[in-house]
A and B are shown apart, each in its own frame.
Chain A
Amino acid sequence: MIMTDITLTIDGKQVAVPKGTSILQAAITAGITIPHYCWHPGLKAVGNCRMCLVQVEKWPKPVASCVQPVSEGMVVKTSTDEITKIRKSVMEFLLINHPLDCPTCDQAGECRLQDYYMNYDEVPSRFAEEKVSKNKMIDLGANVMLDQERCIACTRCIRVCQEVAGVDELTLANRGDHTMITTFPGKKLSNPYAGNTIDVCPVGALTNKDFRFKKRVWFLERTPSVCPGCSRGCNIEIHHEELKVYRLLPRYNPEVNNYWICDEGRYGYKFINEDRILRPRILEKNISHLVSSDEAVDRLAGLMKGGALDEIGVVANAQETNETLQALADFAKTVLKTRHLYFSRREVENPVSDNFLMTADKNPNQAFVDKLGFRPLSTLKEVRGLLVLNSLSPADMKKVIEKKVPILGIWASNENPAAHSSAVVFPIPTYAEQEGHFTNVRGLTQKITAAYPPRGEARLVSETLEELTERLQTNARSYTQNSYPLSPHL
């Protein structure tokens, strides 16, 4: 709104920002970073850390730029000698009782105390007294570990609980150098967004039980992606090294999730590392054999040629990308010319949902599955075999067994019951290892990127479908499906 813009000067740069903007935010607009601990763009400003003090011309004292709104013609200086001296004093106070245990601290490498110390140091220490010692290992609950000695009492975690999760679970107890973050005695942190307290903690006070002591953060690469945990499609960063994912962090997107993700999504990455299908295999007389990708494609083509192609059903999955779903739909419609287009999806018992980020549909891409016209597998008609993407929900698996429909081929990233009973199994990448898109519950299509290449011999579904198309259109050897019955124990 141009009408209400206020013009001010920060470090010689003219900036126009809407009325009510804080000096700190105006400075960010101008590309000037003012150091701060307690201010967070997603939380209410409280002005308690004093690190963001700046000078305003003609004003008698420095002001906290995070809580001071801009005014017309204001001339702000963010890095005068006096301000530098003040920030050094703030740092000195913050570090008086700090344990300086950076070598064993998980925050090292992404710690504001470390970062700002490079700019505002005061060497040597003038503190001759004994440091106050506190508890260094408190399990606050919900995977959040607290080291009270490292805390600088900025209250970001308290505000995340209040403002994001909507529950007042944390507080500052005691006073002065005995101040500490705590829950009510005997109570645990238990809100489904508790992990965000760790993200906003500017120091090593709150660390993640799931991540701590596993990896130095500077070894981690960061890949932008979208959470596949539910249909919200929260934007995330995948933090990985080589072929392993170590953690997921929220990625700012004001359209979807702001600065936050839920804990369910945050800790939903384990399947990327564990229980993977990494090589193609075929089931022969109920015994699984590892084969080359070529052999697997040959085998599946042979099985499919044992009868009419349009009597084969395909089962899409709401876990897969738009590109994969589209490739499967095209294959089914143009190559198989089948009308049997179904889908399955991840179903959990008592799915948690709320009015904030979590939806009850624990799939990232139901919207696109619906758009392509796939129908629920519960409506399964007579088919002579199925091609399955990813997996089948327990109910769908039951249905397939009841109907005695063999699974001819499956494209799966992880071991699952459908893969165990499929005649041919193709390993595919998880969402972390491929490019593509998910369409979320509100119809927003968002891009995911590959953190690293597909593991093992995993290949994109579209690649094997192309090869399969070629094989089906030539006179390759034909297998009869009778040799590969559905495993009786499944």
Chain B
Amino acid sequence: MTMEFSPENKKKLAEILSRYPTKQAALLPTLWLAQGEFGFISQETMEYVAGLLDISPAHVYGVVTFYTMFHRKPPGKYNLQVCRTLSCALRGSESLLDHLKKKLGIGENETTPDGKFSLCTVECLASCGTAPAMMVNQKYFENLDASKVDEILNGLK
């Protein structure tokens, strides 16, 4: 099966490309588009995007792996992203992470067998004032501790 954008996303890509001086410059929004359509960024997707933008698959791989927001495996329904950067680390994000690992029975970059939760750490969520912080999909949760996390998880169906 060859990978291809939907006609609608092809139109979007053309619009994105028109905004940048070079094709390479459109890499991030193109990857975002791909993740939106295909759910995650597989190797095949990287090669497809590289072909679209006339850049090497190696370069695309470098960019995809740099950003924690790009998933190289299908994430769970709820993607828990725990900030691991300084302020959160000082305010207990490490024990928060341990708590989540124990509670969900999975490690970093893993997904629960039912496909409901996946867990990862991310760099600074720009929420230092309300550390420790975590994102669940696109939503922020701040000033966390173990009991708050339990509450949040219980609320996710």
A contact residues vs B (CB 8 Å cutoff) = 167-176, 182-187
B18: Cβ under 8 A from any A Cβ: no
A–B Cβ pairs within 8 angstroms, 7 of them: A167-B56, A168-B55, A171-B58, A176-B123, A184-B56, A186-B43, A187-B57
Q: Whose C-beta in chain A lies nearest to the C-beta of B50? A: A184
The answer to whether residues A168 and B58 also contact, given A175-B123, A186-B43 and a CB cut-off of 8 A, is: yes
Closest Cβ neighbor of A179 among chain B residues: B66
Contact A174/B66 with A184-B46, A185-B43, A186-B43 known, Cβ cut-off 8 Å: yes
Q: Closest CB of chain B to A181's CB: distance in Å?
A: 10
B58 CB contact (under 8 Å) in A174, A175, A176, A183:
A183
B residues in contact with A176, CB < 8 Å: 123
Cβ of B41 to closest chain A Cβ, rounded Å = 12
Give chain B residues whose Cβ lies under 8 Å from the Cβ of A168: 55-56, 58-59
Residues of A within 8 A of B62 (CB): 171-173
The minimal Cβ–Cβ distance linking B109 to chain A, given in whole angstroms, is 12
B22 at the interface (CB under 8 A from A): no
Which of A168, A173, A184, A186 neighbours the largest number of chain B CB atoms within 10 Å of its CB?
Answer: A184
Contact with A along B30-47 (1 / 0, CB 8 A): 000000000000010011
Report whether B65 and A173 are in contact in the complex, using a CB–CB cutoff of 8 Å. yes
Task: Given A174-B66, A175-B66, A175-B123, check contact A185 B56 (CB 8 Å).
Answer: no
Chain B interface helix/strand/loop/mixed: helix
Residue of A nearest to B65 (CB): A173
A485 to chain B, nearest CB (A): 60
The residue in chain A whose Cβ has the minimal distance to the Cβ of B66 is: A175
Q: How many residues of B contact A (CB 8 A)?
A: 13
Residues in chain A near residue B61, CB distance under 8 A: 171, 173, 182, 184-185
| Residues of B participating in the A interface, judged by any CB pair closer than 8 Å | 43, 46-47, 55-59, 61-62, 65-66, 123
- Shortest Cβ distance from residue B107 to the other chain A in the assembled complex, whole angstroms: 16
A360 to chain B, nearest CB (A): 28
- Give which listed residue, B58, B65, B66, B123, contacts A187 with CB less than 8 A: B58
A186 to B61: give the CA distance in the assembly, Å: 12
| Minimum CB–CB distance for B24 against chain A, Å | 11
Overall SS of chain A's interface: loop
Q: Specify which of B55, B58, B123 is in contact with A169 (CB 8 Å cutoff).
A: B58
A269 to chain B, nearest CB (A): 30
CB neighbours (8 Å) of A184 from chain B are 43, 46-47, 56-58, 61
Which chain B residues border A174 with CB–CB below 8 Å? 65-66
Closest Cβ of chain B to A14, distance in Å, is 41
Are A171 and B123 in contact, CB atoms less than 8 angstroms apart? no
CA of A175 to CA of B46 in the docked complex: distance in angstroms? 18
A295, B66: Cα distance in complex, Å: 72
How far is B54's CA from A417's CA once the two chains are assembled, in angstroms?
50
Task: Report the separation of the CA atoms of residues A175 and B63 in the bound assembly, to the nearest whole angstrom.
Answer: 10
Give Cα A186–Cα B42 distance, bound, in whole angstroms. Answer: 13
B61: nearest chain-A partner, CB-CB: A184
Q: Bound state CA distance, A169 and B55, in angstroms?
A: 11
User: Chain B residues near A172 (CB, 8 Å)?
Assistant: 62
**Distance A174 CA – B66 CA, assembled complex (angstroms):** 4
Q: Do B58 and A170 touch (CB < 8 A)?
A: yes
With A and B bound together, what is the CA distance between A167 and B56 in angstroms? Answer: 8
New A-B pairs, 11, CB < 8 Å, besides A173-B61, A173-B65, A184-B57: A168-B58, A168-B59, A169-B56, A171-B58, A171-B62, A172-B62, A173-B66, A175-B65, A175-B123, A182-B61, A187-B57
**Which B residue sits closest to A186, measured CB to CB?**
B43
Closest to B57 in A: A184
- Point out the residues of chain B lying under 8 angstroms from A186, CB to CB: 43
How distant is B140 from chain A, measured CB to nearest CB, in Å? 22
Q: Tell me, rounded to whole Å, the shortest Cβ–Cβ distance linking A246 to chain B.
A: 31
Assembled-state Cα–Cα distance A176/B56 (Å): 22
Report which residue of B57, B58, B61, B65 has the largest number of chain A beta carbons within 10 angstroms of its beta carbon: B58
Q: For the complex, what is the distance from the CA of A175 to the CA of B65, rounded to whole Å?
A: 8
**Beta-carbon nearest neighbor of B55 in chain A:** A168
Give the docked Cα–Cα distance between A187 and B56 (Å): 12
Please indicate which of the listed interface residues A173, A182, A186 has the most CB atoms of chain B within 10 Å of its own CB. Answer: A173
Residues in A with CB closer than 8 Å to B46 are: 184
Closest to B68 in A: A175
In the assembled complex, the CB of B118 is this many whole angstroms from the nearest CB of chain A, namely 18
Closest to A189 in B: B58
Report B26 CB to chain A, min CB distance, Å: 17
Bound: A170/B58 CA distance, A: 6
Contacts of A185 in B (CB 8 A): 43, 61
A386 CB to nearest chain B CB (Å): 53
Leading 5 A-B pairs by shortest Cβ distance: A168-B56, A171-B62, A173-B65, A171-B58, A184-B57
Cα A173 to Cα B55 with chains together (Å): 16
Residues of A within 8 A of B65 (CB): 173-175
> How many Å from the CB of A193 to the closest CB on chain B?
16
A436 to B16, CA, bound (A): 61
Residue of B nearest to A173 (CB): B65
Residue of A nearest to B56 (CB): A168
For residue A183, which residues in chain B have a CB less than 8 angstroms away from its CB?
Answer: 58
> From residue B91, how far is it (CB to closest CB) to chain A in Å?
19
Give Cα A419–Cα B35 distance, bound, in whole angstroms.
66
Within the complex, the shortest CB–CB distance from B54 to chain A, in Å, comes to 11
Set of chain B residues within 8 Å of A182, measured between Cβ atoms: 58, 61
Chain A nearest CB from B103 CB (Å) reads 25
Chain B positions within 8 Å of A173 at CB level:
61-62, 65-66
List A contacts of B123 (CB < 8 A).
175-176
Residues of A within 8 A of B43 (CB): 184-186
